Amino acid sequence: MDRTFVMVKPDGVQRGLAGEIISRFEAKGLKLVGAKLELLPEERVVEQYREHLEKPFFPGLKAYIMSGPCFLMVWEGKGAVAVVRRMVGATNPAEAAPGSIRGDFALDIGRNVIHASDSPESAVRELGIHFEAEDLVGYSRIDEPVLYE
Ligand code: IDP
């Protein structure tokens, strides 16, 4: 099964959206295998967003991500990385489809509520930045026999 890294950003936590976001992934059938609320240290924010280090928006992005607690999660399921990206929606909430999390709950690209890994390779890398193997819990959901063919 695939695993993906998801993070409710500080605006999402402050706006009380963590529960709604968890509910959407749970209802989809994905399985929560790790979670924690955390103020991210600078070195992990830099590592997380290393591809954007030279972008003009990086200082603002770093300040935003460090402005309050983030809710970090690992979700597991068939095709989890791509499924979650579709549920999260386009980076710019103004262009994100209605029904997606960013489409329903955000307006500004600089305050887009949630992060999700964009490829299986990113998921492995990002999981490794934020979670130890022993932080993740393997178990069966009781509905798995009816969720999957
Ligand atoms: P993603 O979060 O949809 O994967 P990326 O292009 O990887 O999108 O950008 C990472 C994050 O950087 C975005 O979610 C957003 O918070 C921020 N970001 C990207 N582009 C801009 C911008 O033009 N202005 C402000 N923030 C931006």
Tell how far the Cα of 18 is from the centroid of ligand 1, in angstroms: 19
Mutate to test the pocket of ligand 1, among 51, 109, 121 (most ligand atoms within 8 A of CB): 109
Tens-place pLDDT, residues 49-106 = 999 999 999 999 999 999 999 999 999 999 999 999 999 999 999 999 999 999 999 9
Phi, psi at residue 15, to the nearest 5°? -85, 5
In the DSSP assignment, the letter for residue 97 is: P
Q: Are 27 and 77 in contact (CB under 8 A)?
A: no
Tell how far the Cα of 133 is from the centroid of ligand 1, in angstroms: 27
Residues 6+ apart with CB under 8 A from 40: 48, 65, 66, 70
130 catalytically annotated: no
Please count the other Cβ atoms lying within 10 Å of the Cβ belonging to residue 96. Answer: 22
For the domain made up of 2-136, the CATH class stated in words is alpha beta
pTM of the model: 0.98
Q: What is the residue extent of each domain of the chain?
A: 2-136
Q: Which amino acid is at 27?
A: A
